[in-house]
């Protein structure tokens, strides 16, 4: 899996930095969040809502938006 997408490799991956990335989602800035997500991400969105499921890439997720 690709790492360090959307950030300077010298910038430490801290809790504060992760909160900053997720604040983009809270404010409705999906692009600001997804700019930091690797294209080959493999993730599971839990829940019973329409976006819940297993996605094997960023493109896979975007097919459901």
The answer to whether 1 and 37 have CB atoms below 8 angstroms apart is no
pLDDT tens profile 2-51? 444 555 667 788 999 889 989 998 999 989 999 988 899 999 999 999 99
- pLDDT for 6: 57
The domain ranges of the chain are 15-62
- pLDDT for 3: 47
Across the strands, what pairs with 44? 54
């Amino acid at each position: 899996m690709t790492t360090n997408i959307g950030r300077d490799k010298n910038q430490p991956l801290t809790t504060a930095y992760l909160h900053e990335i997720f604040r983009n989602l809270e404010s409705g800035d999906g692009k600001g969040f997804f700019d930091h997500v690797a294209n080959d991400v493999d993730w599971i969105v839990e829940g019973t809502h329409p976006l819940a499921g297993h996605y094997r890439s960023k493109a896979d997720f975007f097919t459901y938006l």
